[in-house]
Chain A
Amino acid sequence: MSLSKLNSLYREVILDHADHPHHKHALTDATTTMTVKNPTCGDVINLDIDLNEDDVITNIGFTGEGCTISQSSASMMSDAVLGKTKDDALKMAKTFSDMVMGKQHYQADLDELDDAAILSSIVSFPARIKCATLSWWALQRALLSNQQEESDGEA
């Protein structure tokens, strides 16, 4: 029964987000949009963001296809950054990246990530780290306003 090990990755929260993703819809007239792909598996995330004049994320939505991990990560990421400023959201993306890569990070920063922090277990599944980071990478690209379609060519 070595599938019991899967419980550490596919936690209830993650499965819930994958099954009932939050913010999974396109925004009309979004101020920023970004499409990223993971060419190794074909997963796609289209991310729409509304930023107001104070650089606060006032609305966020995503569409696309992917595995349980990439879909739930996109859902949890959207929850976490909604209402945050651009700078705060970029900082959260950095924290998330450090967390899944097993780099040093602070518990206080992790708390900011809400549900998304639960993906720290992905460290034990190195082949799946890209799945978790795809939506956060879309967020970074969107906020840094590099508006062309990009592929995730690096780990």
Chain B
Amino acid sequence: MKTDISDLRGDFPILDQLVNDEPLTYLDNAATAQKPNQVVAALTHFYQTDNANVHRGVHTLAERATVAYEDARHKVTHFINAAEPAEVIFTKGATDSLNLIASTYGEANIEAGDEIVISIMEHHSNLIPWQQLVLRKHATLKYIELTPTGELDMADADTKITDKTKIVAVAHASNVMGTVNPIVALTKMAHQHGAIMVCDGAQAVPHMPVDVQALDVDFYAFSGHKMMAPTGIGVLYGKRDLLAAMPPYQFGGEMINFVHRYESTWNELPWKFEAGTQNIAGAVGLGAAIDYLENLGMSNVQAHEQQLVNSLLPQLTADHQIEVYGPNDPVRHTGVIAFNIKGLHPHDVATALDMEGVAVRAGHHCAQPLMETLGLVATARASLYIYNTQDDVDRLIHALNETKEFFSHELIKAE
């Protein structure tokens, strides 16, 4: 097992560069993760050796490409502990996966008067598909609110999820506050009322062990690019019975069985939901990223990030000039931390940090209803991954101190 972090950084040449004359400190992993050499090499190998279209030919390359593509599906199946590969559908990413559910299961099952329950901490990708679905169907969208510490209010969830609820859709981990949500408990609640449970795992799968059967969720969505795979590949997991009963998402090649002039029949799972030529190389890259993560061990990945959060979060919360949003307890926190320097706009902070080589996100993080609820326009957000080190944490803290000093000095001078 390879767990030496200094060893790991060599797999990511992009990290070894100067940005604004300072060593790059990449802390925007919740937006997208960097890709190790192993993933890039897998893409190169596929394109240089095996490239062909899948499931469509009898020639050798077509067979090799098909094996590579379906091998990636097997890796995903094992990685999230799906019951079988038929339950793993390749998509463009978590957004595409969630839209797929809303457009197929949602269209077929939601009727006027039905209710869909989501949480106020959802990313727009797990909010707008449901918002638009209820508008089309004259159904109702309800929000589970937050506790003062930025966690889901489970008492509120208990009142919002009722026998009228048909779908509950909640993020496994918040892309803003780093909160980890109690998916098992929510799923039980949903099932008790006959609703299905949809989980947005975009911020969880890259960072912690995920077992979809243990969670007992009905659907689970995530993106490849946040777990070091290429952009444009993602996964929708769904329970076989539900997937089998759902109408197709898109129509075209691959997803059909027989096509006649005036009617068609659909391919079996999972290909029923994979119309047209898929992102074959992307799937191969995702398989390589999963190999990389499994080689490290997801428990080790989680422990490494936890160690960095244990250092970073208390330093931020102890600073009276900094406001942190979300749980203050490092143990209940992923490596995603939203904060502001009091009196400074996060865009100004992010520009200053960038001058120190530190890359963070600033903005509303595609969670405008959450920002509104927190009474904020925007925040800065630092997010960690496996190749980050204590050095990166120290550089962020140093750069924040420099930023505070720069602006306080300049503001005093200006008066």
Mark A residues whose CB is within 8 Å of B.
1-3, 5-6, 9-10, 12, 15-16, 19, 40-44, 65-69, 125, 127-128, 131
Interface centre among A1, A12, A19, A41 (most CB of B within 10 A): A41
Q: Report Cα–Cα, A15/B345, bound state, in Å.
A: 13
Interface of B is mostly: helix
Q: Report Cα–Cα, A127/B410, bound state, in Å.
A: 22
Given A19-B411, A41-B347, A67-B347, is A6 in contact with B352 using a C-beta cutoff of 8 Å? yes
Q: Report Cα–Cα, A24/B38, bound state, in Å.
A: 54
Judging by beta carbons under 8 Å apart, are B345 and A2 in contact?
Answer: no
Residue interface mask B67-93, A partner, CB < 8 A = 1: 000000000000000000000000000
Judging by beta carbons under 8 Å apart, are A3 and B347 in contact?
Answer: no
Q: How far is the CB of B19 from chain A (nearest CB, A)?
A: 10
Q: Report Cα–Cα, A10/B380, bound state, in Å.
A: 19
> How many residues of chain B get a CB closer than 8 Å to chain A's CBs?
30
Q: How far is the CB of B65 from chain A (nearest CB, A)?
A: 39
* Chain A residues within 8 Å of B352, by CB: 3, 6
* Chain B residues within 8 Å of A19, by CB: 411, 414-415
Q: How far is the CB of A144 from chain B (nearest CB, A)?
A: 27
Q: How far is the CB of A74 from chain B (nearest CB, A)?
A: 13
Q: How far is the CB of B400 from chain A (nearest CB, A)?
A: 11
Judging by beta carbons under 8 Å apart, are A66 and B345 in contact?
Answer: yes
Judging by beta carbons under 8 Å apart, are A2 and B356 in contact?
Answer: yes
- Does B363 interact with chain A (Cβ within 8 Å)? yes
- Does B319 interact with chain A (Cβ within 8 Å)? no
- Does B261 interact with chain A (Cβ within 8 Å)? no
Mark B residues whose CB is within 8 Å of A.
20-22, 344-348, 351-352, 354-357, 362-364, 368, 371, 377-378, 402-403, 406-407, 410-411, 413-415
Judging by beta carbons under 8 Å apart, are B411 and A15 in contact?
Answer: yes
Nearest A residue (CB) for B363: A41
Given A41-B363, A42-B377, A43-B377, is A67 in contact with B345 using a C-beta cutoff of 8 Å? yes
Q: Report Cα–Cα, A127/B361, bound state, in Å.
A: 12
Q: Report Cα–Cα, A15/B351, bound state, in Å.
A: 15
Judging by beta carbons under 8 Å apart, are B368 and A42 in contact?
Answer: yes
Given A3-B352, A3-B356, A6-B355, is A69 in contact with B347 using a C-beta cutoff of 8 Å? yes
- 20 A-B pairs in the complex with CB atoms less than 8 angstroms apart: A1-B402, A2-B20, A2-B21, A2-B357, A3-B352, A3-B356, A5-B355, A6-B352, A6-B355, A6-B406, A10-B348, A15-B411, A19-B411, A19-B415, A41-B347, A41-B363, A65-B377, A66-B377, A68-B348, A128-B347
Q: Report Cα–Cα, A40/B31, bound state, in Å.
A: 14
Nearest A residue (CB) for B354: A127
Q: How far is the CB of A4 from chain B (nearest CB, A)?
A: 9
